[in-house]
Structure 1
């Protein structure tokens, strides 16, 4: 399968070639005309209010000037000799303006972010992965063959990373090794973030760390406070057990805190820990995470200071969170448990993709009215009414989210996740390129994967001022969370980015 923007599965691409061969010229011209009809419709509906308001205002102004040319002069004379009215009106205006300024949500800016790049000696090519799996002696032949098949179809490349403890034979998944992995990832991302932004650690007022499966005492957030000697009154939070979508949850928490605590910085650190969560059993549903999850992490610097707008990369526009934990099937579809032999691991249900699709529909139903142009909302609503009143067999209208977003960062949880969203949202291969290439280069890095994807888009030079980015992540519980960002400048990749020395090799062709 071609992971680039020139083609893709089932003949979908940016060209005019289709599955059964080249289009005939009349058919192609008809599709072009239909395209411009749709664009004209979207433009007309989106600007309908302006088109109607401007002529009405002009008519009112012309009519008023013709019938009562002295009205404005009379109003001025009235105000000139009625000082009390002027003072009262001014007081109300000042009070209302002050109240609005004090209560309106403060913008949250993304100043910069950093993604951890592990050393090359931690890379785990397929042959080395399988060799170590055989040498551990913990897997039977059926489990080894299952892992081999998963790796071949996973979309991962040979340059992903596993922690140092897993390179040992036998593996040494100790508490100390897990702490070392966490420190290497978090401190590596934070060191680079502080170096690129010139922000002093003492300036950080809010710290949010999320890691689902490793929650030691003292906490991961306490590790960071101790390492960088953060100030004593810092607001620190440690989110655990919230799955791969916890990165968006952490951003949402930081956003809410930045509305209360003015003129400060918030740092969000997203990671996952593999060392103590490797599965050494033979239950196939619990072997899949071994094949997909890899070392990675990110650190994001957020600010509510108006002075940071000039240098910030993005502004946070929306965060929408969906939780299906009330449903028992959804609750157990990603479940940490022990197998019959007492080996602990994370089990993935066969219903996972169906549950993820349902959570996505709920999420975009909430997000759609916030981001879609009026033209798309009208089409969606009219189709819904027709299906309800006349014929339930009418296919539901899928909104064109490509009109609302310029870039898509779909959590690189696995090839099936990306395929599902590409199909359901009717995206082109170019829209999911960042997700597929991140999965290939770094694997599933859990909650930090959406930041590796954003870094890919920046490294390709595709991010322009005004572009909107949709980050979509899924997590255990079951949750689907979205974050929408708007670029405040033509964004260039930061120094020491994860793609710095390899972006020229991407996109790569992926075999279907």
Structure 2
């Protein structure tokens, strides 16, 4: 038992050494200023009133100097206030919860696959293997058009799905926030694979009779990371337009995108993508600061499209039989890892404490100067964030990020449970994860949240939020009737 006790003792000592190092480096300026302030205070209390008056008189300030100094101070203060970027607040958000009649169980999905592809048993078996290891549960939902045999992928049914998802989110957002459609200054809608004319943003404007001078944008073809791209666009617009409200709607319309062929790389999205949508109210108005849930701190976008391999790894195309679908490359995880590294390199200096940045710098210098075989230091992002919202693109995505960022099971719990309950809802998945954390009552004032999303192109985008107030008792949202069941155990393989 002695070696084990010694090993445990050493690990405990190492833990406290690391904690002490982090505290010393992160609070270096404070620890340096405290002795100086104490010395100044002790020196000040030694002076008597006559000495203080004499010291003031010795400065010889004239009226002109006082006026000029005051003017300079006011000018500098005004310039500082005017040049500061406006704070962007996330007032609230609303999510789409599909009705129970849209549910697609494992048995129902496989029966449907057999009926749609009766002459392709290998394709059916492949989908079964994917579903067994997907991490999805029995409660995920697909739109009515895909429940037909075979699926009916018409424009009219796609529009019906879009209206159901988007209008449900908007109605809920307007009710939760009390904002009126006429008060919305900026509208951004992102949907990658369904881009009708008139656009989805025009559809929303028509439904809610919004102002004629509203600044509207419709983003398509940007993949699962389009939600954070929309947030970044809204942030830039809110920096330019003062006293404004922006609504971001993120969704993916599945009706026209059900793949009916037999190519394995194109059958994979059928097994993972499910219905979902989110509407988010952002504002730069000072009046909303007291009730806003979050403040936007950073948005960092990484685009690897200059590389041909990255550009082609997720693409919409036709198979040899003319069936349209999404082709996922076998190199997807490798490409996503490279994009993540680039994104981390940019966001790290913005969010990591000094202790982690110094360790990373020392390791980098050591690898360059002393030994290139040194293991690279992976910064501890748990020092920078309390919560992580990793895009629920699939089990492999979550596993890879958990491993690379050295996160605990609790840190990725929201992502795994969102994938299990709602599936891959594309650009809206991050908001289902944030809602899960709130429903679990884990969101406290001052907590920092890191949202990470991947998308075609290939893109890796990050958003950093800070919680403005403790979310005490959320009573609505898609998790309201089932949060008590979670977290659930998700086996490696679910035998069908």
TM-score range, shorter chain: over 0.9
Partner of 1:43: 23
Partner of 2:161: 181
The two structures have a TM-score, normalised by structure 1, of 0.92
* 1:196 aligns to 2:176 (yes or no): yes
Partner of 2:266: 286
Task: Give unmatched runs, 5+ long, in structure 1.
Answer: 1-22
* 2-structure distance, mates of 1:138, 1:485: 49
The aligned runs of 1:70-89 (5 Å cut-off) are: 73-74=53-54, 76-77=56-57, 82-89=62-69
Task: Give the one of 404, 411, 414 matched to 2:394.
Answer: 414
Shift of 1:125: 0.5
* 1-structure distance, mates of 2:420, 2:216: 34
Task: Give the one of 124, 141, 145 matched to 1:161.
Answer: 141
Determine helix, strand or coil for the equivalent of 1:417.
Answer: helix
Partner of 1:398: 378
Partner of 1:19: none
Shift of 1:138: 6.6
Shift of 1:354: 0.5
* 1:447 aligns to 2:427 (yes or no): yes
Partner of 2:243: 263
The aligned runs of 1:308-457 (5 Å cut-off) are: 308-457=288-437
Q: Provide closer, same or farther for how the CA distance between residues 350 and 63 of structure 1 changes in structure 2, counting only shifts above 3 A.
A: same
Partner of 1:498: 478
Shift of 1:169: 1.9
Q: 1:420-456: per-residue Cα shift (whole Å, max 9, x none)?
A: 0000000111110000000000000000000000000
* 2-structure distance, mates of 1:101, 1:177: 51
CA contact (8 A) 2:231 2:248 kept: yes
* 1:481 aligns to 2:435 (yes or no): no
The aligned runs of 1:65-144 (5 Å cut-off) are: 73-74=53-54, 76-77=56-57, 82-137=62-117, 140-144=120-124
Task: Give unmatched runs, 5+ long, in structure 2.
Answer: none
Task: Give the one of 461, 465, 474 matched to 2:445.
Answer: 465
* 2-structure distance, mates of 1:360, 1:466: 26
* 1-structure distance, mates of 2:59, 2:364: 53
Q: 1:375-425: per-residue Cα shift (whole Å, max 9, x none)?
A: 000000000000001111000000000011001000000000000000000
Partner of 1:510: 490
CA contact (8 A) 2:117 2:124 kept: no
Answer with 404-413 or 135-144: which moved more.
Answer: 135-144
Determine helix, strand or coil for the equivalent of 1:429.
Answer: coil
* 1-structure distance, mates of 2:135, 2:401: 16
* 2-structure distance, mates of 1:492, 1:319: 27
Shift of 1:33: 2.5
Q: 1:187-228: per-residue Cα shift (whole Å, max 9, x none)?
A: 111111111111111111111111111000000111110111
* 1:171 aligns to 2:134 (yes or no): no
